[in-house]
Amino acid sequence: MANILNTEKQAAVIGALVEDMSIRGIERMTGIHRDTIMRLGVRVGESCTAMMDAAMQKLSCNDIQLDELWAFVGKKQRNIETHEDSFQGDQYTFVALDRDTKLVPCFRVGKRDKATAVDFLQDLHGRLANRVQLSSDAFKAYAEAVERGFGSEVDYGQIVKVFTATDLGQRRYSPPDIFSSSRHTIQGNPDRSRICTSHIEAQNLTIRMHCRRLTRLTNAFSKKLENFKAAVGLHFAYYNFVKVHGSIRCTPAMAAGVASSPWTVNDLVSLPEAA
């Protein structure tokens, strides 16, 4: 890749990708072929994932929220036939967010099932240096996954929301109104007033606004699972290390003590290629 594009052009391409510009739009803007843009995005995204895997260790987070985002690879689940590869169809990105520093310590792409949830929570537990409070919605797999990932070393609560029934034709592209919500202690002794998923739900909006493959109601989607994973890894590296968060006035990585100063897109481009 270095023999094709210089560092300045690579940074321009990656900067456009992390700010929600489409691959064909970048091609029109820069004159760089879309296949080259795709290969660069995958290479840098995989390098970012490897970097965060090494950097996110012994974190002193205290209050972590969990959620998952829907997307699809190749085609939507309802269009999948029995003989087609399992990587196609619905894919969910499980995300953990530290409420105080806004850091995303880990994420996991996979099916919305117990196996993926368990892998995700075990990975999260291995990155933490202390006991934490966890909050999630009422997705059934979380309770067992938290127990298997953390054992008894966690304070865990769920917020359960009940939505009103609405006319689907009128509300097809907007969520229904919340009729009621309640907080439940699942494990340990969580602070009930802090059982919440509002911060990670706001973060879900951030990724949908910055990663074209996750933007709703567009024709942008991944045809390969590895490309989707690389795009998600690129986004979270940009979010954690480069983008200054308005509420904390620094990057999440700085707030969490993982980085001493803001990174640049050039720093992401310069990461060593993942093995």
Q: pLDDT tens across 171-187, in order? A: 555 667 776 778 999 99
pLDDT band at 78 (very low <50, low <70, confident <90, very high): confident
pLDDT at 1: 45
Compute the C-alpha angle 142/112/162, nearest 5°.
Answer: 60
pLDDT band at 169 (very low <50, low <70, confident <90, very high): low
Residue 77 has pLDDT above 90, yes or no: no
pLDDT at 192: 93
pLDDT at 136: 95
| CATH H superfamily, domain 7-269 | Ribonuclease H-like superfamily/Ribonuclease H (3.30.420.10)
Residue 98 has pLDDT above 90, yes or no: yes
- Cβ-contact 132, 105 below 8 angstroms: no
Average pLDDT, the chain: 90
Q: Which two tokens stand for residue 247?
A: 């509420």
Q: What secondary structure letter does DSSP report for 222?
A: B
Question: Mean pLDDT, to the nearest integer, of 183-206?
Answer: 93
Question: Mean pLDDT, to the nearest integer, of 77-98?
Answer: 85
pLDDT band at 165 (very low <50, low <70, confident <90, very high): low
> Which is more confidently placed, 194 or 214?
194
Burial 152-178 (b: 16+ CB within 10 A, else e): eebbbbbbeeeeeeeeeeeeeeeeeee
